[in-house]
């Protein structure tokens, strides 16, 4: 099986050069980073859940998460400035490539009733953001050991200049979209 780099060089670069007229292979868009977020919301006072969130992110990404703090107080949500409200991990390089392959090859396939990623999930700059209702889609998580299910968000940042380039890049890499871009 091809590695991410080999697949990108042999399949993605030539196709994008042909489709968008890039003269240089270095001008072809690529994935720059992947950010994974988990908001802890109402359960921020439950230390057991906070530990589960940390362990989940470490197992899925292989990296220790950074805790995010509230920038301002919001009384309606009972959040005070400086309070921990979530955790995030940013992946680059080899870990990012491994995560993308895992996401495309196994995580999407494990989602119940998955019909594809909506095309509108790609923004105007060619970046993709996908939310998961359950963290059980990832192969590192064993459903037997999960006490409380939580969601997470995966943001894939590309060097594409527009939505069409970003969509074409992600589609060629193997992301399962619901339809074609209009």
Mean pLDDT of successive 10-residue segments in the chain (182 residues)?
Answer: 84 90 90 90 66 81 84 70 79 91 77 79 90 67 62 89 91 85 69
List the one residue out of 112, 107, 110 whose CA is nearest residue 154.
107
> Do the beta carbons of residue 35 and residue 10 sit within 8 Å?
no
The CATH architecture to which 4-72+88-173 belongs is 2-Layer Sandwich (3.30)
Query: What pLDDT, on the 0 to 100 scale, is given for residue 135?
Result: 57
Taking the model in full, what pTM does it have?
0.82
Query: What pLDDT, on the 0 to 100 scale, is given for residue 155?
Result: 93
């Amino acid at each position: 099986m091809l590695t991410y780099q080999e697949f990108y060089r042999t399949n993605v670069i030539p196709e994008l050069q042909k489709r968008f007229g890039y003269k240089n292979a270095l001008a072809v868009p690529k994935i720059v980073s992947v950010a994974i977020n988990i908001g802890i919301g109402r359960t921020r006072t439950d230390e057991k859940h906070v530990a589960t969130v940390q362990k989940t992110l470490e197992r899925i990404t292989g990296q220790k998460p950074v805790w995010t703090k509230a920038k301002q107080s919001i009384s309606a949500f009972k959040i005070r400035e400086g309070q921990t409200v979530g955790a995030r991990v940013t992946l680059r390089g080899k870990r990012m490539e491994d995560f993308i392959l895992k996401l495309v090859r196994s995580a999407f396939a494990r989602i119940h009733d998955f019909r594809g990623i909506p095309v509108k999930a790609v923004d105007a700059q060619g970046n993709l953001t996908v939310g998961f209702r359950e963290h059980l889609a990832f192969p590192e998580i064993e459903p037997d050991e999960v006490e409380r299910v939580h969601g997470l968000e995966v943001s894939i940042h590309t060097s594409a200049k527009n939505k069409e380039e970003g969509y074409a890049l992600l589609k060629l890499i193997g992301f399962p979209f619901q339809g074609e871009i209009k």
